[in-house]
Amino acid sequence: MIVPVTDTLEYDASGLLCPLPVLRANRKLRELARGGLLTVRATDPAAEQDFPAYCRQTGHELVSSTRDGETLVFVIRKR
């Protein structure tokens, strides 16, 4: 069985404040094909609300949202 490979990118937005993490993630998502995954790491507390809102507004899928210490980790699937 052949399993298709999904494009993946990672972006570390640690230290950036709102709205930069979402703006930079949006730029990275443009590099991906439809269905590609972007993992974003952010330390701005506002990102916890910003990324879910961004995904709702743009139609991208927020696959997961987790916390690793002070770092928020979001996985977004491009629509």
pLDDT of residue 4: 60
Q: How many domains would you assign to the chain? A: 1
**Which is nearest to 28 in space by CA: 50, 16, 42, 10?**
10
CA distance 63 to 76: 5
pTM across the whole model:
0.92
The predicted-structure confidence for 3-40, as pLDDT tens digits, reads as follows 565 799 999 999 999 999 999 999 999 999 999 999 99
pLDDT for the residue 71: 98
pLDDT tops 80 at residue 63: yes
Q: Which residues are catalytic?
A: 18
The enclosing domain of 45 has a CATH number of 3.30.110.40
The C-alpha angle 44, 78, 40, rounded to 5 degrees, equals: 25
Range of the domain at 69: 8-77
Contact 7, 38 (CB under 8 A): no
Cα separation of 20 and 44, whole Å? 10
Evaluate whether residue 3 is within a structural domain: no
> Does any domain span residue 1?
no
